[in-house]
Amino acid sequence: MTQVPDHVCIGQLHVGQPIQAGGDPSTKPILELYYFRGGDIAVGIEDGPAGGQTLHRLSHIPLAQIFSYTIQVTGDGALAIGIDGASASFAIPRDFSGYGAYFKAGAYDQTTGVDPTVGAIVKFYALRVSHER
């Protein structure tokens, strides 16, 4: 992170299409990883497909310091988030069990306002995806 006006989402586990009959479409992320201007990193876990999010502070990394993160989904319905080797685990809310999901990495600025010159600058040096069965 080289510029963060307020906070920026740098990674997501996003809801896909319902994979079980009768499921309603949802556009909600299950998980959003945030970097805040002061250096705090937190994860927002969505309460369910209808919305609402619970925020959990994970770490603190100073602005402009390179760090790594991982987002992992385990076969038993858990989310594992790692920041520079430290990890935390959370349960996937039960209401998401009938949905597919996919990962996203990027710079999704969460700053509100009308100034078009304000924005977050995020640099990714590498992305790696792996799947295990």
Tell me, what's the pLDDT at 76?
82
Tell me, what's the pLDDT at 39?
96
Contact 31, 45 (CB under 8 A): yes
Does domain 7-109 fall into CATH 2.60.120.200?
yes
CA proximity to 46, closest of 62, 67, 30: 30
Tens digit of pLDDT at every position of the chain (133 positions): 888 888 999 999 988 777 777 767 777 899 999 999 999 999 999 998 888 999 999 999 999 999 999 999 987 889 999 999 899 999 998 888 878 888 999 888 887 776 777 788 899 999 998 877 6
Contact 49, 32 (CB under 8 A): no
Tell me, what's the pLDDT at 133?
66
Question: How open is the CA angle 101-127-71, to the nearest 5 degrees?
Answer: 45
Tell me, what's the pLDDT at 10?
95
Tell me, what's the pLDDT at 108?
86
Tell me, what's the pLDDT at 36?
94
Question: Tokens in use for 46?
Answer: 């969505």
